[in-house]
Structure 1
């Protein structure tokens, strides 16, 4: 019994990702070290987590945290009752961490492609990112990949999912790394992570992340409609408008980079020209972002410090960062279409997604393409 539990731990508690999910048993260099840091990091996080009612019962729990934990319980109940997301132990405990992120993800891509480098695990299949509980470990992995000629991005992740496999240990907890986010953003992250426990296609990062992103966008809108808080809704709508503008800009840049890379065979004898085209696309992206940023600050009154993470993203933008973002966005329209096709019925929608996840990858991709057609 103990051995069986240890196997489950080794295969599932090493899952980490932004919203969301990583881990398992890696193939390649540094495997044992990766296992150890993952197991140690997750167990430390679980040890720090306590049931939300205990935090609420303590008289010295700060009022802002108390209010947010009460909100979390309401959002957790809404997720299961209205959105048909799993009703289990996850996100019913809270852990205060002494760091700014739950994990740090490493992503990589070749210099002439937006195809993510992958790591393969027996539970999750091959996925396009790898998570570390210490930033220095993530940075070290990033340097190793860069030495292989890959473009690398290392970025902080506020939460991750173990796909529900750790529920027997108390479930994935709420974390101090995102508990203080604005209500709309906090709730959508919660819905995103729970979606990973509802449906998961082994080895298909883009499918999994796009599905969870569709759930968060649809779910948070229903949450805001049900809550009826005009101030919260207005704050979220302003934030969502900026996200839409950001997505449009990055999608445009990914399309331009894809076209450049698809032309590399024709330009095989002129790599200098290809590099110049890539450099120009990246420069145009940075200039377009600068204009967008100025509009947000000047017209919308966004404080510059609120844009610090985006500023860093733009400064370090490369194939890896663009490819990773595409995994969260590219298939969202297909899942939106599927939700409409299923009559906006959440149980039917999740069942349809699980059926797609269970289908062979070729068949799944064909059906997704059909859903994406106007």
Structure 2
């Protein structure tokens, strides 16, 4: 009955809205969410089905072990999340659209019922995301569409596991589960950077503990190398963001054509510097596949998910790895004004050192 009442509330919110574009967006969101709920199957039933492929059976068994780990070792509020399974007919469950003005690093924000404002819009079908992007591109906005393997409904629904998870390598599937479960701990309306950086920090620290406890030293070392590359990439992006911010601060004094030319030069320098990083690594890094289309929207996306991760990880270190205490401190910080939260996390991030 809880799920039915939530569906009824969702429909009331959607069809109570006005405006053609808003109505279309919320209709596709409702249809996508309802489709997941209607097509899910209890994982216990999938495991009991003799026709279930062995590869899927192994993934779902691992997922159930990861759920127990999340609850017992990370104090995450698992409840009935990831207890059902849905087979998707597309590689990603949602396609997120990020938009930023041509001469600003501050992404556009859209405000929704219940959850507040977020700096992205999620579409269940790629064609819808592309159509929305065209509207902003015609206004000379920077845009980016990224496929999303999972998202959280913040406890409003019992989110199912879906085939986007089970096609990932084992450690990536576990990490993604931890990330989405972390969103159930704390959610700050109108602060995507806080929410996503916190969830990414839980994902990273949780995965490290998972690999230690499951005696996978090789994968643990790979994870540490991946973290090092993310850190180097974030440092490069922050340097680029600083240069762009200084440039955009001159909007009133410089002609748009001059701003555009200098912006292009800065982004080309980022591409060159990042290429040198990948050459040194000998393999693709975090921006592989998107560096060629780097713009304000891509920079905004990367910073939203990673900028405050070092600060949150330092908070966890300061609690001696006690996740429950860490969550309490994060909730306390969440009650502070946005500027206080940002300064605190930046200060914590400066003192964080990766133990490699």
Normalising by structure 1, we get a TM-score of: 0.85
* Per-residue deviation, 1:182: 2.0
Partner of 2:22: 31
CA–CA separation in structure 1 for the residues paired with 2:266 and 2:18: 35
Partner of 1:48: 39
CA–CA separation in structure 2 for the residues paired with 1:259 and 1:27: 39
> Which is bigger in relative contact order (C-alpha 8 A, separation at least 6)?
1
- Deviation sequence 1:275-300 (CA, Å, 0-9, x none): 2221111112222333333444xx4x
CA–CA separation in structure 2 for the residues paired with 1:237 and 1:333: 14
CA–CA separation in structure 1 for the residues paired with 2:199 and 2:309: 9
* Per-residue deviation, 1:260: 2.4
2:79 pairs with 1:79: no
* Per-residue deviation, 1:112: 1.0
* Per-residue deviation, 1:190: 0.9
| Aligned length in residues | 350
* Per-residue deviation, 1:310: 4.3
Of 66-75 and 332-341, deviating more is 332-341
Unaligned runs of 5+ in 2: 352-356
2:327 pairs with 1:327: no
Whether the 8 Å CA contact 2:234–2:307 is kept in 1: the answer is no
* 3-state SS, counterpart of residue 117 of structure 2: strand
* Per-residue deviation, 1:28: 6.3
Partner of 1:287: 272
* 3-state SS, counterpart of residue 177 of structure 1: helix
Q: Which residue of 257, 264, 268 maps to 2:244?
A: 257
Whether the 8 Å CA contact 1:286–1:314 is kept in 2: the answer is yes
- Deviation sequence 1:76-102 (CA, Å, 0-9, x none): 111111111103111121111010111
Partner of 2:328: 351
* Per-residue deviation, 1:235: 4.1
Unaligned runs of 5+ in 1: 15-23
* 3-state SS, counterpart of residue 187 of structure 2: coil
Partner of 1:8: 9
Q: Which residue of 318, 323, 328 maps to 2:295?
A: 318
CA–CA separation in structure 2 for the residues paired with 1:232 and 1:102: 27
* Per-residue deviation, 1:189: 1.0
Runs of 4+ with deviation above 4 angstroms: 1-4, 24-29
2:218 pairs with 1:217: no
* Per-residue deviation, 1:29: 5.4
Alpha-carbon spacing, 1:196–1:11, altered in 2? closer, same or farther (3 Å): farther
Normalising by structure 2, we get a TM-score of: 0.89
CA–CA separation in structure 1 for the residues paired with 2:39 and 2:210: 29
